[in-house]
Structure 1
Amino acid sequence: MARRREEEDEDEDEALESVERVFEGRAVPGWREQVTLRALAVSALLGAMFSVIVMKLNLTTGIIPSLNVSAGLLGFFLLTSWTKLLDKAGVASVRPFTRQENTVVQTCVVACSGIAFSGGFGSYMFAMSERISEQSGETLDEHNIKNPGLGWMIGFLFIVSFLGLFSVVPLRKIMIIDYKLIYPSGTATAHLINSFHTPQGAKLAKRQVKTLGKFFAGSFTWGFFQWFYTAGEGCGFMAFPTMGLEAYRQKFFFDFSATYVGVGMICPYLVNASVLLGGVVSWGIMWPLIDQKKGDWYPANLKPSSLRGIVGYRVFVSIALILGDGLYNFLKVMTKTVSALVVQVRRMMSEPTLPISDMAFQTADDTFDDKRRTELFLKDQIPNTLALGAYAVIAVVSVATVPHIFHQLRWYHVAVSYVIAPVLAFCNAYGCGLTDWSLATTYGKLAIFTVGAWAGASEGGIIAGLAACGVMIGIVSTASDLTQDFKTGYMTLASPRSMFVSQVIGTAMGCVIAPSVFWLFYNAFRDIGMPGSEYPSPNALVYRNMAILGVQGLGSLPRHCPDLCIAFFVAAIAINLARDLAGPRAAAYIPLPMAMAIPFYLGPYFGIDMCIGSLVRLAWDRLDPARAKAFAPPVASGLICGDGIWTLPQSVLALAGVKPPICMKFLSRSANVEVDAFLRGKKH
């Protein structure tokens, strides 16, 4: 009797801990019922909206927060509203909205908006343009210039963005079931979607959506209000010298950006603090000191944008920090990946039976959730022959066509990239499962240096390196994204086939939507990519100069610039090493070199915005931690989405030639006296 009671207690405890017990009575729809027309329609709408947001972030600072929570939340809201409206209209054949369909929407949206980042519109692709080349101070060379064009950008993305999906499909069982990799972002997204589809979670989701809507409307209205005061260069709230005019000249000011206040609420405190610290070290200390060396370290009569002057120090020291941080994390993740693989292989070889059959993946230690999820995950499989065959076909087509888009890139450069890419895609997907850290941009930078040096400066090595970077990022990034989605689908009982199909459809959407959004920005804002403009695209100049370094070396840098670069490269490695050796508590107070590098060129003003967002989140966490945990992400998402979507009507107004009516500018007292005297003189 006592034993039976113990067993009943164990069953109750398991039911409380089990997610799938909650959904046990609900039938799991087939993969075709998960990828519905309504899900794809909502995905296209949200994918376009998120692409605008990612594009704006790309072209301002390049810091992109995770938008998975917003995608899952808005997908839940829109499809719930859709089904309710049809119910009220008397349409009885409406299919119930399931968590699997919610997962399809989230996957499709993130795949679509992910192309806005991996497509390189704020980095390698825009770096090829004449506008960015002029800022690098190069002699105009047609071999190393390729200006944006909607047709070739869409074609290039279609060629390179699908290979990563097919390269990782044969490894899905090993990654998710056999190795049981964590994929923190994919797991967190799955927990979120699962919670939405419980009665209590649905109520909370409705309140979260309502909160997001309020802050979306407020942020959009604030962006519209600010527009009225921006009728000239240096006008508007974004040029408000909140800390004084001298601080403003050194880029220390709050620019009233709802976007970066929202980003600050989502990003970890350490990221925001690191960005601000980087701004203080560079614009508060280093650049004023180097500016005093004008005429000694570099000529005094250079153009303000010349890389032979102070801008060269800003750009190349930033690059040194980025490369040092990237190299360290590359070696760290690769070491973890190799050691974990060795452990897994030894464990498999020591087992009495190899996991060949589907049932061999289940062990006595598996919980009810594990068994249920494994059963469904192994049900709808994607034939490996299809995946490998598709990879081979697309690779052959790509080897034949990419050199026609970039004549500087030879067919053998592309062929070698596609031989190496599956290995790097596996490493990135595996490392992402262990650490949640995608090294796609690091692999891209390696391609810049290797292919650029291989091609040579006289044969267009700069464009060849940047194009090879795009090929590598396109493959490696989508591979890790798909494995994250497989993990999310595994935990929500979404079919691997529906995950793959929705990822393919979302990627196809992104290959059209993302270049179109960039083309809208490029034509609406004529000064895009220029220093001091609303959209300076700092990463484009960084990537361009990486390509120049790859083919020309360090010889053309200003005096003492190579020494500073080496010092900061070593410092980035040392800081990362200190973080890993110090332990978790101490590491929370050691800055991140990658985050520090961003304001070295751009300035610390957006770091001030992000730190204000951090302070709001910190105060909220202290006063009401439960409410902050539930509602801070929707508030931040509303701020980001509203300000980001305002860019669309702003672009339309710019294309229509409608200009703001007012210029709000701030002058010193002496400058104001001169302006008043001038105006009085004109009246007389």
Structure 2
Amino acid sequence: MNPVSSPSSRGLQYDLPNESDDEDFEREVDEQGLIEGDFTLRAVAVGLGVGVILCMTNIYFGLQTGWVSMMSLQSALLGFALFKLLPHLKTLFPNSRPLTPQENVVLQTTAVATGTMPLAAGLVGIIPALEMLTVKEDGREPIKLNYGQLVAWCLAVAFFGVFLAAPLRRQVIVKEKLVFPSGTATAQLISLLHKIPPPSQNPKSSSSGTYRRLPRTSRSVSPPGYAVEEDETNGQRQAAEKDSEVMKGSGWWALGWSFFASGSLTVLSFLFPVIFAIPIFDVFSLPFGTSLAANWLWWFTPSLSYVGQGIIMGFPVTLSMNAGMLVGWAILSPLSKHFGWAPGPIGSTTNGARGWILWVALAIMIAESIISLLPITISSISTFVRHYKQRSSGPRIFQPTSSPRSNVTEDDYYDPLDENDDEDPENEPPERLVPMSWIKIGLVSSAILGVGLVWAVFGKDGIHPWATALGLVLASMLSLIGVRALGETDLNPVSGIGKISQLLFAVLQPGNVVANIIAGGVAEAGAQQAGDLMQDLKTGHLLRASPRSQFYGQMIGSLASVFVATAGYKFYTSVYEIPGPQFAVPSAGIWLNLARLLNNGELPERVIPFMISFGVLFGTISSIKAFKHYLPTSVISKSEKWIKYLPSGIAFAIGFLNSPSFSIARLIGGYIAYRTSRNSSNGETPLIAIVIASGFVLGEGVLSIVTLSMASSGIKAISCFGCNIAGGGYCSGGC
């Protein structure tokens, strides 16, 4: 996902959250200024509730377009809104104090762990791909797992990434202070919601006096330990003031109305399917006796959720996506059909134009994924070599710290590579960290559990136990690269990691399409989960939430999502045809086609020159972006203006995978983000736009559960008017 432009909230005087009227109310603060008791029943319970919503939303969007988001911003916003708008929540739990920022961190951590299982377990990719196997092309029947088998598979991949993330925290967050843009943005949003000073990248400066209660007459003054910076620009101040005003009232109305509008349109489109498949482009083709909608999949879907996604993605990403859509669906698709390279129906992923252009998209994604991994790989290797030389050059000398507690313990993650004065030591006491003994036991146990369950589910005709174990080892190594890339760019190259695993297993288990898909899924699951949870740990680090509390939330959320995600996937597949007109499952096509290519070596007619051409083009573009920092400063300053206009290869390829309707709606949202950011005093997307976008996304995601229930109950569309124009069959929902 593209990093969300986060609201700037620096340079303001902050009120403390409205606390209880009881003058004796005091937060539990220890001598270091750390909030205790952030792992609470209410935070976990509401986090699970929000996570269930996000999980079902991600299944819906993932099966539709392959788009899945960790939604950490939405989790924090929705969790806070529930406590704000539903006061009786406070009385349902023994602890009736207002929700603290640290509890909100645990809440959104639990929600993210629950909501991202559809991608981690491959429910929107590898599981549908296994169901699309054919005897003719793959030599075996489709693999359709029942509920128990699917639960076992999810359990196999649910925890390994959690144990991978915990030991990396100290190195990439505490010592190297990688940005993790989404995690930082979430921390800024939480600070704004709870009316506390914005988090500092250097927690050492705020390690004392945090959140102590001020006298009632002094609550308009910043709490001790935080100095309000006086040198901020007027634009930043104005933006912060607007953001503060938004979250006092208008923001909640905007969230509610955007949620209602998106949800209402979703239900309405179920009753009148043509609303989500408007054949508006037929005006260009009817004089020629054809229909762009019926014959070429060109219709318009006025989905507010995709408009919201476009706002969150930003204009550059949506522009790249629509450029890919035009090249794929307006040029290459007609070309492949006209010359007979793709003789089947346009929407077919096997012998149709959709399947033909999918190969070109695959070449683009592989080229960009591999190139984008090179700089971070080179950097990681050089850093490791440098630290190895430092360690071997002589004994290490530990510098004393001013903390009353030692940073270095026998049960800590691992000792820092060096202890220079300008590096932050661990700022958390040992009792708030996850002990290394837990990590070792967890990694070994989750690996054994994973290997055993995968063998039990797929048997000897699937993947050998040693191959699954090797996939987990590969996930461990590649997740280090993925986490660093995520910390620096906000992009986790999990698609490249999965494809690298597929390439390796084409050699280790040749001719076995099932093993190839599963091995890629295992490697991708560990890397994706470790990356997403690292964003949460960054949020907790900035807001001084306990890493151990977040670890508990991650484990609970992952366990709950095993059953929630499985039930949701089974619910959707029992009601809708997958793949089908409404749920094309583009990610499954990518997984299956690459596995077939690596094991059978067959490609559609004349697609190879286009794959090579586009692969080289976007490999070159990715190289320019990835290695621009190695150029002389004078060259960088001159080239920066035009480099930023180069398209994103992954976004460009997604334009190929999804039918035009989804890309066009996202472009509308991207343009809204562009216009609002230009009118903003600080040049960033205003918070109110992000709030509205969140409402749009959540509205359709939540109400899709309602329409799913209606469809499963036998309720059909009220009217199919407009769905059969020019012989169309592009409407769904019972028509």
TM-score by length of 2: 0.78
Question: Residue 660 of structure 1 aligns to a residue in which SS?
Answer: coil
The corresponding residue for 2:623 is 577
The corresponding residue for 2:607 is 561
The corresponding residue for 2:247 is 205
Q: Which amino acid aligns with 2:327?
A: V
Provide Cα deviations, 1:473-503, integer angstroms capped at 9, x if missing partner. 2222222223222221111111111011111
Task: Tell me: CA distance 1:277–1:382, structure 2 relative to 1, closer, same or farther (3 Å).
Answer: same
Task: Tell me: CA distance 1:418–1:117, structure 2 relative to 1, closer, same or farther (3 Å).
Answer: closer
Question: Residue 375 of structure 1 aligns to a residue in which SS?
Answer: coil
* Comparing 58-67 and 196-205, the one that deviates more: 196-205
Deviation at 1:307, TM superposition (A): 3.1
Q: Does the 8 A contact of 2:161 with 2:527 survive in 1?
A: yes
The corresponding residue for 2:122 is 120
Deviation at 1:152, TM superposition (A): 1.3
The corresponding residue for 2:647 is 591
* Comparing 68-77 and 199-208, the one that deviates more: 199-208
Q: Which amino acid aligns with 2:666?
A: M
* Comparing 154-163 and 170-179, the one that deviates more: 170-179
1:538 aligns with 2:549: no
The corresponding residue for 2:489 is 435
Task: Tell me: CA distance 1:70–1:302, structure 2 relative to 1, closer, same or farther (3 Å).
Answer: closer
Q: Which runs of no fewer than 5 residues in structure 2 stay unpaired?
A: 1-9, 19-25, 197-240, 286-291, 409-415, 629-635, 729-735
Q: Does the 8 A contact of 1:31 with 1:497 survive in 2?
A: no
1:69 aligns with 2:67: no
Q: Which amino acid aligns with 2:170?
A: K
Among 171, 175, 179, the residue aligned to 1:174: 171
Q: Does the 8 A contact of 2:76 with 2:107 survive in 1?
A: yes
Q: Which amino acid aligns with 1:286?
A: L
Q: Does the 8 A contact of 2:407 with 2:429 survive in 1?
A: no
1:446 aligns with 2:500: yes
The corresponding residue for 1:456 is 510
The corresponding residue for 2:3 is none
Q: Does the 8 A contact of 2:336 with 2:353 survive in 1?
A: yes
Distance 2:489 2:616 in 1: 23
Provide Cα deviations, 1:18-71, integer angstroms capped at 9, x if missing partner. 999999x95448888212111122112111111121112111111335521111
* Comparing 257-266 and 93-102, the one that deviates more: 93-102
Distance 1:636 1:329 in 2: 29
The corresponding residue for 1:324 is 367
Distance 1:93 1:352 in 2: 46
Task: Tell me: CA distance 1:510–1:363, structure 2 relative to 1, closer, same or farther (3 Å).
Answer: same
Distance 2:271 2:489 in 1: 45
Among 141, 148, 159, the residue aligned to 1:151: 148
Q: Which amino acid aligns with 2:703?
A: W
Question: Residue 427 of structure 2 aligns to a residue in which SS?
Answer: helix
Q: Does the 8 A contact of 1:377 with 1:496 survive in 2?
A: no
1:353 aligns with 2:397: yes
1:50 aligns with 2:54: yes
* Comparing 161-170 and 246-255, the one that deviates more: 246-255
Select the structure that is richer in helix: 1
Task: Tell me: CA distance 1:356–1:660, structure 2 relative to 1, closer, same or farther (3 Å).
Answer: farther
The corresponding residue for 1:677 is none
Distance 2:494 2:400 in 1: 32
Deviation at 1:138, TM superposition (A): 3.8
Q: Which amino acid aligns with 2:173?
A: I
The corresponding residue for 1:522 is 573
The corresponding residue for 1:502 is 553
The corresponding residue for 1:425 is 479
Among 267, 282, 293, the residue aligned to 2:328: 282
Deviation at 1:188, TM superposition (A): 1.8
Distance 1:365 1:446 in 2: 38
The corresponding residue for 1:474 is 525
Among 424, 428, 435, the residue aligned to 1:376: 428
1:313 aligns with 2:356: yes
Distance 1:170 1:641 in 2: 33
Q: Which amino acid aligns with 1:115?
A: M
Distance 1:269 1:351 in 2: 52
Question: Residue 37 of structure 2 aligns to a residue in which SS?
Answer: helix
Among 222, 233, 244, the residue aligned to 2:283: 244
Q: Which amino acid aligns with 1:641?
A: L
Q: How many residues align?
A: 629
Q: Does the 8 A contact of 1:399 with 1:411 survive in 2?
A: yes
Task: Tell me: CA distance 1:273–1:165, structure 2 relative to 1, closer, same or farther (3 Å).
Answer: same
Q: Does the 8 A contact of 2:28 with 2:36 survive in 1?
A: no
1:651 aligns with 2:708: yes
Deviation at 1:301, TM superposition (A): 7.4
The corresponding residue for 1:662 is 719
The corresponding residue for 1:161 is 158
Question: Residue 616 of structure 2 aligns to a residue in which SS?
Answer: helix
The RMSD of aligned alpha carbons is 3.4
Provide Cα deviations, 1:328-360, integer angstroms capped at 9, x if missing partner. 112233223334445566678799734798458
Q: Does the 8 A contact of 2:475 with 2:522 survive in 1?
A: no
Q: Does the 8 A contact of 1:145 with 1:463 survive in 2?
A: no
Task: Tell me: CA distance 1:651–1:363, structure 2 relative to 1, closer, same or farther (3 Å).
Answer: same
Question: Residue 95 of structure 1 aligns to a residue in which SS?
Answer: coil
1:613 aligns with 2:663: no
Distance 2:36 2:156 in 1: 26
Question: Residue 244 of structure 1 aligns to a residue in which SS?
Answer: helix
Provide Cα deviations, 1:519-552, integer angstroms capped at 9, x if missing partner. 1111121x2212xx11111111111111111211
Deviation at 1:604, TM superposition (A): 2.2
Task: Tell me: CA distance 1:44–1:352, structure 2 relative to 1, closer, same or farther (3 Å).
Answer: closer
Deviation at 1:589, TM superposition (A): 1.2
Task: Tell me: CA distance 1:259–1:20, structure 2 relative to 1, closer, same or farther (3 Å).
Answer: closer
The corresponding residue for 1:102 is 104
Distance 2:13 2:369 in 1: 39
The corresponding residue for 1:267 is 313
Distance 1:306 1:616 in 2: 33
Among 210, 217, 231, the residue aligned to 2:260: 217
Q: Does the 8 A contact of 2:332 with 2:357 survive in 1?
A: no
Provide Cα deviations, 1:254-285, integer angstroms capped at 9, x if missing partner. 21111111111111211100111111112212
Deviation at 1:454, TM superposition (A): 2.1
Q: Which runs of no fewer than 5 residues in structure 1 stay unpaired?
A: 1-14, 673-684
> For residues 331-350 of structure 1, what are the structure 2 equivalents within 5 Å?
331-342=374-385
Among 547, 550, 555, the residue aligned to 2:595: 547
Distance 1:91 1:147 in 2: 42
Deviation at 1:363, TM superposition (A): 7.3
Question: Residue 592 of structure 2 aligns to a residue in which SS?
Answer: helix
Task: Tell me: CA distance 1:354–1:421, structure 2 relative to 1, closer, same or farther (3 Å).
Answer: farther
Distance 2:510 2:35 in 1: 49
Distance 1:443 1:355 in 2: 39
Task: Tell me: CA distance 1:353–1:319, structure 2 relative to 1, closer, same or farther (3 Å).
Answer: same
Q: Does the 8 A contact of 2:16 with 2:194 survive in 1?
A: no
Deviation at 1:222, TM superposition (A): 1.4
